[in-house]
Amino acid sequence: MKIRGKLILSAIGIMALIIVYIIVMAVLSDKNLTGENTPGPVATVTPGSTPVQTPANPEPPSPSDNPVPSDNPDATDNPTDPGNQDNYPGRPGNPGGLVIRTDYEVFKPNEVGEIPIVMFHNFIEAYEEKTEKEFTTTFAEFEQLLETLYNEGYRLISMADFIDCNISVPAGCKPMVFTFDDGTPGQFNLIEENGTLKVNPKSAVGVMVEFSKKHPDFGLRGIFYVNMDRGNETFKGQGTLRERFEILLSLGFELGTHTWGHVDFSDAKNNNAERIQEAIGKNQEKAEEILPGLRFYSMALPFGSQPVNKDLRPLLVRGVYNNTEYYNESILAVGANPSVPSISVKYKSDYVSRIRAQGRVPVDCDLTWWLPRMTSSRMFISDGDPSTIVVPEEKLDEVNQDRLGGKKLITY
Ligand SMILES: [Zn+2]
């Protein structure tokens, strides 16, 4: 696990987090075993647990759960093929039980290919006449989308792992990042049942928790970009804001900053150093007040806007407000392409592309538009081993070798 920023962990905090994680996983696996269909999760609150912005270890996938998608007609092999069993759990150097393959010529991994980062906003039960058209999804459509993405070979990774290019998805699969802006209750909220706080099954997180029981290898991952000025309105429902954050983090999700006040940095009145540092620093300051130790390491730009004055843009990355320092390792835009991975020479951490999820009405460059265009030849196809970067010989120039960070570069 990588510890980010100035996160200070006490031994007690680590213990508390582990306890919460064990409880969550125990309940999840219990539901799997019993086949019980009761909606909703699953997390109990451990008071005083330290927020740790380090995603929990991914579920080790079982080989039989892992289709290997490919639109390459030559790639006839797949990891469930008995001939490939050397590459499965138990393989030396693979304690996580990941599906790793080294027959590169057959399944053509490309770990400098693009990674889609999907942007979600609102989730509701059913559309009404006045429902906003482009940024709203129903729970049923969302569930269907998860199924589609799973079947097309996408697997969720955390923002932290995207930043580090630490890709733990099975060989032949494609990493994807889910991002959620504005902290709306449809994304995540808590309900109280018999005095216990639970994730509302009628929320995107509730749908994802349920989906992960069916497909644990899909990944229960995503980052939520919040505006602390919204206070108790963020993930509105039962529980305190602190409890909401704690439960979200304990499930393996992440929190990011979306500024104090949903600030439009392209607006002339915000085009100065003080306003920029206030917008980001105050959001960080308040986050730590709500949940001591919570550090944001990623920001989604409200409206996707940057300061017009380019000299001010470094302040989006790093700055200080009221003695609170902040550092955004990735800054996300709004549109409209899959992103290059952080290992690419083209990667710019201060303006990372996202694709909007399809809303009520499809539009060009939304996820539905992109899905058929995200072919194997352009996307990141994993070899399953997070400690290697495997690329076709002709793409070697696209790898920024300064960012390998100890990973082994392999060409074929
Ligand atoms: Zn927003």
- The rounded Å distance from CA 259 to ligand 1 centre is 9
> Position 18: which residue type?
I
Contact in structure between 157 and 116 (CB atoms under 8 Å): no
Residues with CB under 5 A from ligand 1 (ion): 181-182, 302
* Span 98-144, pLDDT tens digits: 789 999 999 999 999 999 999 999 999 998 888 888 899 999 999 99
How many angstroms separate the alpha carbon of residue 371 from the centre of ligand 1? 24
Distance in Å, CA 354 to ligand 1 centroid: 13
Distance 226 CA to ligand 1 centre (A): 8
Cα angle value 378/348/253 (rounded, 5°): 80
Rounded distance from Cα 121 to ligand 1 centre (Å): 8
Beta bridge partners of residue 324, listed in sequence order: 321
User: Which tokens in the block code for residue 193?
Assistant: 């049942």
For residue 242 the two structure tokens come to 């602190």
Domains defined along the chain, listed by start:
11-54+83-411 (3.20.20.370)
The pLDDT profile of the chain, 412 residues, written as one tens digit per residue, is 444 544 444 444 555 555 544 444 444 443 333 333 333 333 333 434 445 564 434 333 343 334 444 333 333 333 333 333 333 333 333 334 578 999 999 999 999 999 999 999 999 999 888 888 889 999 999 999 999 999 999 999 999 999 999 999 999 999 999 999 999 999 999 999 999 999 999 999 999 999 999 999 999 999 999 999 999 999 999 999 999 999 999 999 999 999 999 999 999 999 999 999 999 999 999 999 999 999 999 999 999 999 999 999 999 999 999 999 999 999 999 989 999 999 999 999 999 999 999 998 889 999 999 999 999 999 999 999 999 999 999 999 999 999 999 999 999 9
> CA-to-CA distance for 86 and 91, rounded, in angstroms?
6
Q: Supply the DSSP string of 275-296, one letter for each residue.
A: HHHHHHHHHHHHHHHHSTT---
Burial-class residue 8 by CB neighbours within 10 Å (0-12, 13-18, 19+).
Answer: exposed
- Tell me how far the alpha carbon of residue 329 lies from the centroid of ligand 1, in angstroms: 19
Nearest CA-CA partner of 117 in 181, 177, 187: 177
pLDDT digits (tens, 9 = 90+) for 8-19: 444 445 555 555
What is the model's pLDDT at position 74?
Answer: 35
User: How much distance in Å is there from the Cα of 187 to the middle of ligand 1?
Assistant: 13
Distance 303 CA to ligand 1 centre (A): 6
Distance of CA 318 from the midpoint of ligand 1 (Å): 20
CA of 180 to the centre of ligand 1 (A): 9
Q: How far is the CA of 227 from the centre of ligand 1 (A)?
A: 8
Which residues have a Cβ under 8 Å from the Cβ of 46 and sit 6 or more positions away? 16, 19, 20, 23, 246
Task: Map tokens 């058929």 to a residue.
Answer: 372
Does this model's pTM top 0.85? My answer is: no
Neighbouring-strand partners of residue 390: 410
**SS3 category, 155:** strand
